[in-house]
């Protein structure tokens, strides 16, 4: 879907949607809690595509998951007045939780959503037979996202506050629009996130079982946000 839509539009980014499809499908198929017939369900899990340039991944997932996004809209990718613009837009496409595109911003959005959920839980949970606020926030971030200062600042706050309801899947494909990340970046990202106070894991992003095990561990973590560095190859799929 990603390749065909980008090819038809003669515009867009097919590599990231293809490379991230394996681990994203594990998340959407096994762990993300949502109801396409009730997209505004208050306690749904949130999925934020911080790497908004790879939006054909999100549109394809929404279509396959049964959201109101027909194949005709995917064929109309990046066209005037379509519901599949070149970057996700909140309020324009059903199922899109945040407007993203500027790198790093979506990570910060996800931190804010996780903090909001914690505040709601503190107010409404623990007063009856069940807790009404138990949702998690998942974000998908690229190398470019985690290079940006805005994501680092928000991630530091998330670790300080112990936002255990936040999971960031990092598409560790080691490539940017300028070339390999080694042109400008040599840090150990998982070590940086551990220093922020996060749980940090490394997995093969194309190994379904490894991704599932990492998500199990992340979802079991209550006191720390989680980073899962998914080593991938761009456009593999």
- pLDDT score at 237: 73
* Alpha-carbon separation of residue 112 from 69, 136, 161, 217 (angstroms): 27, 12, 11, 22
Q: Work out the burial of residue 39: count CB atoms within 10 Å of its CB; fewer than 13 is exposed, 13-18 middle, 19 or more buried.
A: middle
158 inside domain: yes
Rounded CA gap, 14 and 169, in Å? Answer: 19
Percent helix, strand and coil across the chain, each rounded to 5? Answer: 45, 15, 40
**Do the Cβ atoms of 57 and 21 come closer than 8 Å?**
yes
Between CA 67 and CA 97, with CA 168 as vertex, the angle to 5 degrees is 30
Strand, helix or coil at 85? coil
pTM: 0.97
Residue 177's pLDDT band, with cuts at 50, 70 and 90, is: confident
- pLDDT score at 190: 98
Q: Report the domain count for the chain.
A: 1
Residue 128's pLDDT band, with cuts at 50, 70 and 90, is: confident
Checking if the pLDDT of 176 tops 80, the result is yes
Domain that holds residue 40: 2-231
**Do the Cβ atoms of 215 and 26 come closer than 8 Å?**
yes
236 inside domain: no
70 inside domain: yes
Q: Which of 55, 54, 61, 58 is nearest to 16 (CA)?
A: 54
Residue 115's pLDDT band, with cuts at 50, 70 and 90, is: very high
Q: What is the CATH number of the domain that holds 100?
A: 3.40.50.970
237 inside domain: no
129 inside domain: yes
Residue 117's pLDDT band, with cuts at 50, 70 and 90, is: very high
């Amino acid at each position: 879907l990603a390749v065909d839509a980008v090819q038809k539009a003669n515009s867009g980014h097919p590599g990231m949607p293809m490379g991230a499809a394996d681990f994203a499908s594990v998340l959407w198929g096994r762990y993300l809690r949502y109801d396409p017939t009730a997209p505004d369900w208050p306690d749904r899990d949130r999925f934020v595509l911080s790497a908004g340039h790879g939006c054909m991944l999100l549109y394809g997932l929404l279509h396959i998951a049964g959201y109101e996004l027909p194949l005709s809209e995917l064929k109309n990718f990046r066209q005037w007045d379509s519901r599949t613009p070149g970057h996700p837009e909140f309020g324009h496409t059903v199922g899109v939780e945040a407007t993203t595109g500027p790198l790093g911003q979506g990570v910060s959005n996800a931190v804010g959503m996780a903090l909001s959920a914690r505040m709601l839980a503190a107010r409404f949970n623990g007063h009856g037979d069940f807790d009404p606020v138990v949702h998690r926030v998942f974000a998908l971030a690229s190398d470019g996202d985690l290079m940006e200062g805005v994501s680092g600042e928000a991630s530091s706050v998330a670790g300080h506050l112990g936002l255990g309801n936040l999971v960031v899947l990092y598409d560790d494909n080691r490539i940017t629009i300028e070339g390999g990340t080694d042109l400008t970046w040599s840090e150990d990202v998982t070590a940086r996130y551990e220093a922020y106070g996060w749980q940090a894991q490394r997995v093969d992003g194309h190994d379904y079982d490894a991704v599932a095990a990492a998500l199990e561990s992340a979802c079991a973590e209550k006191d720390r946000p989680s980073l899962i560095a998914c080593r991938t190859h761009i456009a593999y799929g």
